[in-house]
Amino acid sequence: METITLDVTEFANGGYAVGRASRGRTVFVPYALPGEKVKAAIHTEKNKVAYAHLQQVLKASSERVEPRCPHFGVCGGCHFQHMSYEAQLRGKQAVVVDQMLRIGNVKDAPVRATLPHPQPWDYGMEMSLSPIAGGGVGFWSPAEKQIIPIESCPITRPELVDLLHDVDLELPGLRKLTLRVGDDEALLAAVEVDGVEPPDLEADFPLSVVIVLPDDTAVNLIGDNFTIQAIKGRDFRISAGCYLPPSAAGMELVVETVRRYAGLTGVEQVLELYSGVGMLTAFLAQGVAAVVAIEMNPDAVADTAVNVDADHVSLYEGTVEEVLPELDIKPDVLVLHPPAEGLSREAAKAVAGLRPSRIVYVSSDIATLARDGRAFGRDGYNLVEVQPIDTRPQTFHMDVVGVWEK
């Protein structure tokens, strides 16, 4: 491996810092900070783009801090524990500006300062773990290229870390174990195994256990197949195979931002795509004439029926590609919260034909928001504003909400 000395200049999407090296190369280095001089070892290079391991910090940034977690740098769950929280927020905003330019083709995009999380530690309501060869479960380590055991996790609720230590699970065919905690401190373990035969399990302390099937629906093995989470003072049932926000506080910031951008006055017809368990649906319904929501996961649809009890809300089960062309609807406001991969070609085509006055797009991947936003621009929409929200402190992940108007 080639070893180089690098002046780090900026952040890039995916948790990397970036510097320029000899022969016009752009070098991506994790765990470095803009303003630092570092020694790095290049391990991959193609077309003047290189990826390197950080070997030594020769000149440290004033924003560099001591990580809290002993697994940091080995476990792949966190990327930013080595920098101050203020620097994390500025870095995420800079990444959004960069992605809106590079992918969205928007120069000087109107990107607001990142909304800070009120609790940057101990916030995570879920742990997703994989089996370790030889027994036990843990996290994937990019550094060691294998699953490693975890003793502590300072970004996760302490109840889940305690549960991890209490679980003794030797399950043939286990692919994934997800632990969740609800607002009432109820604990849930969701297992994904090869095949669909339910395993024989026992729990000797209060714990719900479910098996998650390949279609993301859940079957009870012990107790309930859902947890209860409060968002802005309202309880939501969330089944085991359905999307769970990283934290309640972060989701509340998303809800507030979506409502602000939707600009509801009480007379609008709103179409919501990828509506999940109805967290946005419930709050959109408070200020509109009607909401039509589309969601493909049957358990999420069932949860929404419990979570949202309103006559002016219509809920359709199925994919956006299947359901949307069958609807005769002309929404004033379109709200989308697609998965990280964004809109498929078919979904984008169906969305383009709706011609709403306003589009509010929520994404956990700024690259796909920028890509889909560029398509909105071709369809005659102007980008009004983009709001990064730090829903997952200490990581490069965030939620981003953008609003476009015709």
For 337-393, the pLDDT digits (tens) are 999 999 999 999 899 889 999 999 999 999 999 999 999 999 999 999 999 999 999
d(CA 111, CA 264): 22
The whole-model pTM stands at: 0.93
Q: Where does the chain hold its CATH 3.40.50.150 domain(s)?
A: 94-118+246-405
pLDDT(75) > 60: yes
The pairing of strands 187-193 and 208-212 is parallel
Which single residue is written with the structure tokens 């070098």? 27
Reported as a pLDDT band with limits 50, 70 and 90, residue 169 is: low
Burial class of residue 342 (count of CB atoms within 10 Å of its CB; 0-12, 13-18, 19+): buried
Fold assignment, 94-118+246-405? Rossmann fold (3.40.50)
pLDDT(171) > 70: no
77-81, 94-98, 220-224, 309-313: segment of lowest average pLDDT:
220-224
Helix (H, G, I), strand (E, B) or coil at 256: helix
**CB 123 within 8 Å of CB 116:** no
Mean pLDDT of 77-89: 97
209-213, 286-290, 358-362: segment of lowest average pLDDT:
209-213
What is the CATH class of 126-230?
mainly beta
Helix (H, G, I), strand (E, B) or coil at 172: coil
Per-residue exposure over 365-375, b if at least 16 CB sit within 10 Å of its own CB, e if not: bbbbbbbbbeb
CB proximity list for 67: less than 8 A, separation 6 or greater:
73, 78, 81, 82
Q: What is the pLDDT of residue 220?
A: 79
Q: Where does the chain hold its CATH 2.40.50.140 domain(s)?
A: 2-64
Fold assignment, 2-64? OB fold (Dihydrolipoamide Acetyltransferase, E2P) (2.40.50)
State the number of CA atoms in the 13 A half-sphere of 130 facing the CB. Answer: 10
Q: What is the pLDDT of residue 198?
A: 56
**Tokens read off for 201:** 């399990």
d(CA 98, CA 107): 9
pLDDT(305) > 90: yes
